[in-house]
Amino acid sequence: LSDQQIRAQIVTLQKQLRGQAAAEPPENEAAGDVQAAAAAFLEENKKKEGVVTLPSGLQYQVLKEGDGDKPQATDTVRVHYRGTLIDGTEFDSSLDGEPVEFRLDGVIPGWTEGLQLMPVGSKWKLFIPADLGYGDNPRANGEIRPGDALIFEVELLQIKK
């Protein structure tokens, strides 16, 4: 290829890349809208009575206080839970079946942090900002979008030893 042909190829590629970049903003805009809605929700939510906001941004509300031990990050716990988006859309729940068991350091950071504060027998509502949830990674068949804040109602039933 001559220099002129190479330059023509580069110009063509640059035009294609500009066209792709122009097509991307709506998706980025949508992600920005999700993040803005999540931030606004968490800002308002922290003003509600009974809602505690931790330095990480995690928020929780005690629905029922237990009196058992509190788990460590390396413990396996048994819980019932219901997960929703800030608009109330349910994306996951164990309530219609058996409680679930998992090692606490193997779940999203908001769960790891929040459940370590809960005594066994407690039922809390966790309000989890995206950076302590799934971040920019969509989940649950697309129901959880990049930047979504999550709400989990969690009942800590047992620490498995």
Q: What is the CATH number of the domain that holds 148?
A: 3.10.50.40
Q: How many domains does the chain have?
A: 1
Measured CA distances, 130 to 2, 12, 98 (Å): 51, 39, 27
Which residues does the annotation mark as catalytic? 81, 91-92, 108, 134, 152
Q: If residue 61 lies in a helix (H) or strand (E), which one and from where to where?
A: strand 59-64
The predicted-structure confidence for 3-50, as pLDDT tens digits, reads as follows: 788 877 877 777 776 665 555 444 444 567 889 999 999 999 999 999
CA distances from 117 to 41, 100, 110, 158 (A): 23, 19, 11, 14
Q: What are the tens digits of pLDDT across the range 101-159?
A: 999 999 999 999 999 999 999 999 999 999 999 988 877 677 898 999 999 999 999 99
Residue 57's pLDDT is what?
97
Q: What are phi and psi of 55, to 5 degrees?
A: -55, -30
Q: Beta strands 90-93 and 76-85: pairing type?
A: antiparallel
107 and 79 Cβ atoms separated by less than 8 Å: no
pTM of model > 0.85: no
d(CA 2, CA 88): 61
In the chain the first and final C-alpha atoms are separated, in Å, by: 70
User: Could you tell me the residue range of the domain that residue 70 belongs to?
Assistant: 3-160
Residue 18: the pLDDT is: 65
